[in-house]
């Protein structure tokens, strides 16, 4: 079994539906200065991308920082936890590994490593018109995480025959602020500043009751919306059972 197969087997049990590997020496032509994988890990040989399909549960939140503009979404916390598990898994095999997080520049919120770009290079999906990553399986309704390692793993290639935006203008028609230029190929026709400023205004005007626009993410016709590989849940306790069910369970356990 190859190292990549072992990694995939390890991650499947956490709800990862797809694993891709990118080579830092190939591609990454669109990377911003200071955001290359080797800017995060100097001896990086492989970027492992994890993709979870979460449907519209993407918006589920645990809390948010009222003084700033950072949302702590439950699925992002879980995603990071799985990434840490993968780091420990690789370290246990004798490799070095880190997962990139945080921003290189806080004001425009430029990530130290673009998960979308790493996912594109790893063959997870392609850039859509609104600069979201679109996967063949589930469209944009996924969350992503990248782990960098010095292990040399056979890389995947970008998806060459997947072009979902060619004959689609759904997001162009729906965008409330016309942030997408249909004349330019994705993602070059996307005006990020216009989109972000609109989202900030929504949050301000609604006292943060509305946090996102959601049109391009929710309404993209690619992939399945309902089926998910990851589900939120909680462990039940005895107190969640009705009195009759609880008494019957206690009787079977011989508890008086």
In a domain, 124, yes or no: yes
In a domain, 213, yes or no: yes
Range with top average pLDDT, 33-42, 43-52, 112-121: 43-52
In a domain, 183, yes or no: yes
The residues pairing with 103 across neighbouring beta strands, listed in sequence order, are 111
DSSP codes of every residue in 42-65: TT--EEEEEEEE-GGGGG-EEEE-
Structure-block tokens of residue 189: 């026709």
In a domain, 227, yes or no: no
Dump pLDDT digits (tens) for 10-45: 999 999 999 999 999 988 877 777 788 898 899 999
**What CA dihedral angle connects 106, 110, 116 and 118, to 10 degrees?**
-110
> For the chain, what is the mean pLDDT?
87
In a domain, 253, yes or no: no
Largest CA-CA distance found in the chain, in angstroms, rounded: 74
Asked whether the predicted pLDDT for residue 81 surpasses 70, the reply is yes
In a domain, 61, yes or no: yes
Q: What is the reported pTM?
A: 0.84
Name the residue range of residue 178's domain: 3-219
The residues pairing with 48 across neighbouring beta strands, listed in sequence order, are 21, 147
Q: What is the pLDDT of residue 65?
A: 58
Give the pLDDT band of residue 86 (cuts 50, 70, 90). very high
In a domain, 241, yes or no: no
The residue to which tokens 């600069």 are assigned: 131
Give the pLDDT band of residue 126 (cuts 50, 70, 90). very high
Asked whether the predicted pLDDT for residue 99 surpasses 60, the reply is yes
Dump pLDDT digits (tens) for 233-254: 777 888 888 999 888 888 888 7
In a domain, 243, yes or no: no
Question: What number is the average pLDDT over the span 48-60?
Answer: 88
Asked whether the predicted pLDDT for residue 109 surpasses 80, the reply is no
Q: Per the structure, how many domains does the chain have?
A: 1
Question: What number is the average pLDDT over the span 102-125?
Answer: 79
Q: What is the pLDDT of residue 20?
A: 97
Where is 173: in which H helix or E strand?
helix 170-174
Dump pLDDT digits (tens) for 161-195: 999 999 999 999 999 999 999 999 999 999 999 99
Question: What number is the average pLDDT over the span 96-101?
Answer: 88
């Amino acid at each position: 079994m190859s190292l990549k197969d072992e990694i995939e087997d390890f991650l499947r049990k956490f709800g990862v539906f797809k694993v891709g590997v990118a080579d830092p020496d190939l591609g990454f032509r669109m990377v911003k200065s200071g955001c290359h994988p080797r800017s995060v890990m100097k001896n990086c040989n492989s970027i492992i991308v994890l993709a979870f399909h979460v449907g519209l549960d993407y918006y589920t939140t645990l809390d948010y920082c009222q003084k700033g503009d950072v949302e702590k979404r439950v699925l992002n916390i879980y995603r990071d936890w799985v990434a840490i598990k993968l780091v420990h898994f690789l370290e246990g095999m004798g490799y070095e590994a880190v997962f990139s997080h945080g921003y290189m520049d806080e004001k425009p919120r430029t990530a130290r490593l673009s998960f979308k770009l790493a996912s594109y290079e790893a063959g997870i999906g392609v850039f859509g018109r609104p600069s979201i990553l679109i996967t063949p399986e589930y469209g944009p309704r996924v969350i992503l995480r990248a782990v960098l390692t010095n292990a040399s793993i056979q890389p995947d290639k970008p998806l060459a025959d997947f072009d979902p935006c060619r004959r689609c203008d759904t997001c162009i028609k729906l965008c409330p602020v016309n942030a997408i230029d249909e004349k330019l190929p994705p993602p070059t026709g996307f005006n990020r500043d216009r989109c972000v400023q609109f989202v900030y205004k929504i949050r301000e005007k609604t006292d943060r009751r509305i946090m996102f626009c959601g049109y391009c993410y929710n309404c993209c016709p690619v992939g399945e919306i309902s089926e998910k590989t990851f589900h939120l849940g909680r462990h039940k306790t005895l107190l969640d059972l009705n009195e009759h069910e609880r008494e019957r369970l206690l009787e079977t356990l011989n508890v008086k």
